[in-house]
Structure 1
């Protein structure tokens, strides 16, 4: 097989199957952060394997969404933002404020989450020192490295988080018959909101739309890569499914068995490490913290890279330069501006706390992004905007409609919860 590339780094031939380690792994790793780990952990501790089916559905829905974003990019040669612009002005007016406010608050929360396991491993160092350090590390690694290096670093982090968490689930000895029973859809008392969160929340939000940009960075840019993209995406989310199911196993077999209640926020993972210390010894407890750090830091790197690509494309297009201009692409000035935006202004929030107004704006915009993506993919993938052979089939449209309805329901709940919390 030829591995020759063009001058722009575009791969001329699809790789052999065993060499497919691509953007799917990056988008899946970026999407699984501390919040996803906690939600599945708490669900397992409360309902056992009763909501396992919701996790499986969530993984399937994310495969559909990411495949749609990737298919649009490969079929048209355009970015997802270029596609949104064909739908009118409203996607631009939504996406612009969203990506600015989201980045400001996410930057702080991502740095704080990544600092938690480090602070637990090295209690003599203030947590904010680690938070600022991880933000700077993410900034430097993305600023100075091309996609190929970034992908390799992400693969190492994925390996760490996968081995640690799946290994922990094996040590916990899952009840396989109970897991199989959990694949039958049912709603235990008080589980509706957990079900929505598991089906709709696991595996990322805005970073799903970054998949098409990572395809371009990888050099997968033509319809001939469609099959490779689908394998890449599916296998990556199968890994995500195994990972989050492993967290549910830990919640069921370790947390519930210990009879403890863990924090519903990111600190719940620190609570879990203490339980692991008591049950399996300090080595296992510390190994889990390493896996926690790998999961959190992979999200930092993924957002610093992928969402910066999205912002560069957005700003380049609104400035009339288009997606192919050097300023609109990786390591252009718009890309680097957003890396700095994610890194330095959010450090103020680490010191000052989160202003109520920004939190509310973040809640409003963030809760609506997933239905926004699902709804916009319907006209993008069903009309003249893509060649006929790459348009949606009925089952894909059904899955996108279900996804949109599910995310709207979940988004409204998250929005109301945020407002009630701060008003």
Structure 2
């Protein structure tokens, strides 16, 4: 069983990016350990979403996109419009996030140059490698970021009683929407739905693989939970206690590097930047590979081709979307304030997670799945709660963007 673990590590590593590091650090710096329970709840929500998506793949022998199509043609168009806009904006975001630690470690090149190098590296790697190699590299990156970030949490010496109190439900003043964002954002968004494609790429087929998938998914998000808790500890111990505020963006991680250098020396700061780079690179590679599989499946189903042709590595549609993630977004690296694109991206991004949670409720309680593979009470409660959470977050996002 341990030998088979892999797709869960991939989806968890893809979902935890620089934005999650910043959100968790800021939560720790502002509220100490008070929102520790929210970070753990976020992992539980993502376990339910990714497990539900992969269960549909394994139990039906089809894909989640085929399931959406059975709910109406509008779902295919919804996903298609979303994934094209999302890919264009996220491509630039991922390249920039990866470039930040690389620029800090190797300042001879500019941020823009490192961003382009990161994008081209992802493009070449995914173009010429198949899932087995991709999974191996992702495991190495996860191991690197896990050891460094957890080691950093141990270095700042957390107080165990404080950690225990952080698991008690509490909402400090002014923390409500920040808490909801922490629950909704930790561990990935659309990439949770790509888990089923990675289980298929791994060679898992049919309901006999369901127990293995559940163990794989749970192990991955336990690792994610420990990683996220470690970052919250760093924020609480290193920043909250000293009253240090970080910039609420990816650049805030560079601010943490400066704090670490001042307190522990250049070596620790450099190791943190290596962990930051591993986190960003794993997200970039995961999206480049997983979302290209997703797009490939959508494209071939849209054209009425055999479902077996969709979601394949190396297909024409797979490589077209891989290029779409890499090269057109480089335009945004030259734009200072692409307001319109940010607004459109935010609107579509906020509306996808409720779509995923609600459609999983509909699909996984239907007769499309064998009775033994349908949602149980725990899955239904978790998915329903997730749907309510994501609807609230979507309304909040739209209101903020309108403002």
TM-score (norm 2): 0.98
Matched residues in 1 for 2:402 and 2:226: separation?
Answer: 34
Matched residues in 1 for 2:284 and 2:311: separation?
Answer: 21
Aligned pairs for 1:307-322 (under 5 A) are: 307-322=291-306
Q: Which residue of 2 aligns with 1:365?
A: 348
Query: Which of 40, 43, 59 is matched with 2:27 structurally?
Result: 43
1:343 lines up with 2:326 in the alignment: yes
Aligned pairs for 1:210-289 (under 5 A) are: 210-289=194-273
1:133 lines up with 2:117 in the alignment: yes
Alpha-carbon distance, 1:323 to partner: 2.2
Query: Which of 316, 337, 351 is matched with 1:333 structurally?
Result: 316
Alpha-carbon distance, 1:414 to partner: 1.9
Secondary structure at the residue paired with 2:169? coil
Q: Which residue of 1 aligns with 2:53?
A: 69
Matched residues in 2 for 1:177 and 1:146: separation?
Answer: 46
Deviations 1:261-305 (A, max 9, x none): 100000000000000000100000010000000000100000000
Q: Which residue of 1 aligns with 2:399?
A: 416
Q: Which residue of 2 aligns with 1:162?
A: 146
Secondary structure at the residue paired with 1:368? helix
Q: State the Cα RMSD in Å.
A: 1.0
Matched residues in 2 for 1:281 and 1:419: separation?
Answer: 44
Change (3 A) 1:117 1:18: same
Alpha-carbon distance, 1:354 to partner: 4.9
1:378 lines up with 2:374 in the alignment: no
CA contact (8 A) 1:51 1:187 kept: yes
Matched residues in 2 for 1:57 and 1:30: separation?
Answer: 19
Matched residues in 1 for 2:397 and 2:228: separation?
Answer: 21
Aligned pairs for 1:4-43 (under 5 A) are: 17-43=1-27
Query: Which of 118, 133, 146 is matched with 2:130 structurally?
Result: 146
CA contact (8 A) 2:31 2:240 kept: no
Alpha-carbon distance, 1:18 to partner: 2.5
CA contact (8 A) 2:98 2:281 kept: yes
Matched residues in 2 for 1:328 and 1:400: separation?
Answer: 25
1:405 lines up with 2:368 in the alignment: no
Matched residues in 2 for 1:274 and 1:259: separation?
Answer: 15
Q: How many residues align?
A: 403
Matched residues in 1 for 2:152 and 2:251: separation?
Answer: 19
Matched residues in 1 for 2:204 and 2:141: separation?
Answer: 23
Matched residues in 2 for 1:259 and 1:182: separation?
Answer: 19
Query: Which of 74, 78, 83 is matched with 1:90 structurally?
Result: 74
Q: Which residue of 2 aligns with 1:352?
A: 335
Matched residues in 2 for 1:248 and 1:359: separation?
Answer: 28
Matched residues in 1 for 2:313 and 2:288: separation?
Answer: 11
Secondary structure at the residue paired with 1:130? helix
Change (3 A) 1:195 1:99: same
Matched residues in 2 for 1:402 and 1:22: separation?
Answer: 28
Matched residues in 2 for 1:361 and 1:49: separation?
Answer: 34
Matched residues in 2 for 1:23 and 1:366: separation?
Answer: 24
Q: Which residue of 2 aligns with 1:5?
A: none
For structure 1, which runs of at least 5 residues remain unmatched after alignment? 1-16
Matched residues in 2 for 1:362 and 1:181: separation?
Answer: 37
Q: Which segment drifts farther, 308-317 or 250-259? A: 250-259
TM-score (norm 1): 0.94
CA contact (8 A) 1:207 1:303 kept: yes
Matched residues in 1 for 2:201 and 2:4: separation?
Answer: 15
For structure 2, which runs of at least 5 residues remain unmatched after alignment? none
Extract structure 1 runs of 4+ deviating beyond 4 A.
Answer: none
Matched residues in 2 for 1:350 and 1:303: separation?
Answer: 18
CA contact (8 A) 2:34 2:171 kept: yes
Alpha-carbon distance, 1:198 to partner: 1.2
CA contact (8 A) 2:58 2:209 kept: yes
Secondary structure at the residue paired with 2:241? helix
